[in-house]
């Protein structure tokens, strides 16, 4: 993860998210990096807190702590401690040629190795859970966690010549989770080779722009590259499909805007897993992006209700906590009024949820405007968590209107890579009061408030941000009510003059 050509476990972690990130971390110009966001700093601190809490559980005198030592010194000391058979090593350092790893723990196990009648196992302490669950069943182990553990195991095997059959992590609940490294071995070997090429600059990959990129310090650099090269990921919902598009000859947004759709639905140009309807919508989005103007289609209607409620939840997945229910309530022709239910401390979540449930139960025939399925899925989770009356939720669910899925995606296209509320509302002229508005930052602000509850400014900032999210939904709905929809006839063999570059 540096210009020296060193490869770390973090490179393997990042590779599962974005190959180009691995290249830039090793070879990019540091001047093009943005400042780390408050939310990412929070994640770092939470990771350290989880480690410290677990280490404290082990008790004094149970562990050799090397966290303060630089790499070279830590590597020498780690080898010495392993040869001495120390039971537990924290933040040791494992090295082999261009590979360097610092597992959270090296744990002595029974067995035989080059070291003697024992061996070591690497274990990381995570601020999350390794196994993803669905319907209370474990479904799959997280690839990014697995790659890190296989990286440490590779280094350990070179030192001691043998390994434990299963790999383990300590999760956020201080529980030990295990997985079979063989399930990941083949893919890991290929990933390590790719990481080495990227770190050495032999491969660069390319940005794959999406809303998930915004927390990355290279985001603005990649966004500029996508704009300058007219890369296909400048269109909504392209992602890694862009590599298949480029292989078929559709290398830019301009190429997509003028493509003969039929030619790419059959050999030799057929693009895997893309039918005519998908390609036609992509072509429209390319023409919209190049025109700079949104396309609004006819056919949408809005519920006619006495009261409209624009609803937005703020939650912190790092704590499994929902801390704010924000509502902008509009009755008749009057100005909407903002009200909210907030948990000022995590232990107030249940009381806050129950107060909001009373609001739902007292509602009549309201319509609830939201901008994602998040509100519905969160409410269902909270209902089950606190065994709440399902009646208010059923009534809410029947009257929810998702502006994102049921309006923006279904009836419009926009000249942007993301159809998130921030991008869409800004395109129609809406402005947030906060200079850096985001749900991720809201989580960071809430944690600032929890650390110092006399800091009412942090809580006020969250409330204003949430209220502005609700006002942004009002702006989107008003825009569509005032728009003059066009028939979807933009797919033509002869694109508009703006697209032709006239």
Q: What is the pLDDT of residue 53?
A: 76
Phi-psi region of 97 (alpha: psi -120 to 50; beta: other; left: phi over 0): left
Same fold, 211-293 and 307-482: no
Regarding pTM above 0.95, the answer is: no
Computed over its alpha carbons, how large is the radius of gyration of the chain? 26
Q: What is the pLDDT of residue 52?
A: 75
- CATH level 3 topology of 211-293: DNA polymerase; domain 1 (1.10.150)
What's the CA gap between 502 and 496, in Å, rounded? 9
- Where b means 16+ CB within 10 Å and e means fewer, 219-251 reads bebbbebbeeebbbbbbbebeebbeebeebebb
Q: Is 245 helix (H, G, I), strand (E, B) or coil?
A: helix
pLDDT digits over 15-29, tens only?
A: 999 999 999 999 999
In the DSSP assignment, the letter for residue 406 is I
> Among 37-41, 357-361, 395-399, 434-438, which stretch is predicted with the lowest mean pLDDT?
37-41
When the pLDDT of each residue in the chain is averaged and rounded to a whole number, the result is: 92
Phi-psi region of 311 (alpha: psi -120 to 50; beta: other; left: phi over 0): beta
pLDDT digits over 393-418, tens only?
A: 999 999 999 999 999 999 999 999 99
pLDDT digits over 34-66, tens only?
A: 988 887 777 777 777 777 777 777 765 678 999
Residue 453 reports pLDDT greater than 50? yes
Residue 219 reports pLDDT greater than 80? yes
> Among 120-129, 176-185, 335-344, 457-466, which stretch is predicted with the lowest mean pLDDT?
120-129
Cβ neighbors of 268 (< 8 A, separation 6 or more) are none
Length of the chain: 502
Residue 1 reports pLDDT greater than 80? no
Residue 499 reports pLDDT greater than 60? no
Q: Where are the domains of the chain?
A: 7-199, 211-293, 307-482
Angle at 18 between CA 13 and CA 20, to 5 degrees: 115
Phi, psi of 301 (to 5 degrees): -140, 160
What's the CA gap between 328 and 263, in Å, rounded? 49
Residue 502 reports pLDDT greater than 50? no
Rounded mean pLDDT of 441-452? 95
**What CATH architecture is 307-482?**
2-Layer Sandwich (3.30)
pLDDT digits over 159-186, tens only?
A: 999 999 999 999 988 899 999 999 999 9
Q: What is the pLDDT of residue 136?
A: 63
For residue 360, give the nearest of 345, 341, 347, 377 by alpha carbon: 341
What's the CA gap between 26 and 1, in Å, rounded? 5
Q: What is the pLDDT of residue 2?
A: 44
For residue 329, give the nearest of 363, 353, 372, 379 by alpha carbon: 363
Q: What is the pLDDT of residue 500?
A: 30
In this structure, the dihedral spanned by the alpha carbons of residues 466, 470, 471 and 475, taken in order and rounded to 10 degrees, is 140
């Amino acid at each position: 993860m540096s210009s020296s050509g060193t490869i770390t476990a973090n490179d393997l972690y990042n590779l599962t998210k974005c190959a180009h990130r691995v290249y830039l971390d090793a070879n990019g110009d540091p001047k093009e990096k943005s400042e780390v966001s408050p939310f990412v700093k929070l994640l770092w601190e939470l990771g350290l807190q989880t480690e410290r809490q677990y280490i404290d559980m082990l008790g004094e005198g149970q562990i050799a702590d090397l966290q303060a030592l630089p790499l070279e010194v830590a590597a020498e000391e780690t080898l010495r401690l392993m040869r001495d058979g120390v039971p537990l090593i924290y933040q040791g350092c494992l090295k082999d040629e261009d590979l360097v790893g610092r597992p959270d723990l090296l744990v002595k196990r029974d067995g035989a190795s080059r070291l003697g009648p024992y061996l070591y196992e690497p274990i990381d302490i995570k601020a999350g859970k390794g196994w993803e669950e669905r319907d209370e069943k474990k479904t799959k182990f997280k690839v990014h966690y697995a790659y890190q553990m296989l990286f440490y195991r590779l280094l350990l095997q070179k030192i001691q010549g043998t390994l434990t059959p299963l790999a383990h992590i300590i999760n956020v609940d201080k529980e030990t989770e295990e997985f079979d490294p063989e399930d990941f071995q083949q893919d890991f070997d290929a990933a390590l080779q790719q990481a080495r090429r990227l770190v050495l600059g032999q491969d660069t990959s390319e940005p794959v722009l999406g809303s998930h990129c915004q927390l990355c310090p290279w985001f603005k650099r990649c966004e500029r590259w996508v704009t300058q090269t007219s890369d296909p990921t400048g269109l909504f919902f392209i992602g890694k499909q862009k590599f298949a598009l480029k292989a078929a000859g559709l290398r830019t947004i301009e190429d997509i805007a003028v493509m003969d759709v039929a030619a790419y639905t059959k050999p030799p140009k057929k693009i895997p897993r893309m039918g005519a309807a998908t390609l036609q919508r992509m072509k429209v989005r390319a023409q919209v992006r190049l025109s700079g103007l949104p396309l609004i289609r006819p056919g949408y209607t809005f519920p006619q209700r006495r009261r409209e409620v624009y609803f937005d939840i703020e939650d912190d997945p790092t704590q499994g906590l929902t801390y704010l229910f924000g509502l902008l309530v509009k009755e008749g022709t009057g100005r909407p009024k903002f009200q909210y239910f907030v948990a000022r401390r995590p232990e107030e979540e249940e009381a806050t949820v129950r107060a909001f449930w009373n609001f739902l139960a007292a509602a009549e025939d309201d319509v609830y405007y939201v901008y994602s399925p998040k509100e519905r899925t969160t409410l269902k989770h909270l209902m089950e968590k606190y065994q709440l009356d399902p009646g208010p939720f059923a009534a809410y669910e029947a009257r929810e209107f998702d502006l994102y899925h049921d309006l923006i995606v279904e009836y419009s296209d926009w000249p942007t890579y993301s159809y998130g509320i921030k991008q869409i509302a800004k395109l129609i002229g809406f402005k947030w009061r906060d200079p850096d508005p985001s749900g991720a930052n809201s989580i960071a602000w809430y944690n600032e408030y929890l650390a110092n509850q006399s800091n009412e400014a942090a809580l006020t900032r969250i409330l204003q941000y949430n209220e502005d999210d609700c006002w942004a939904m009002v702006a989107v709905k008003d825009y569509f009510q005032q728009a003059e929809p066009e028939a979807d006839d933009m797919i033509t063999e002869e694109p508009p003059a703006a697209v032709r570059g006239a």
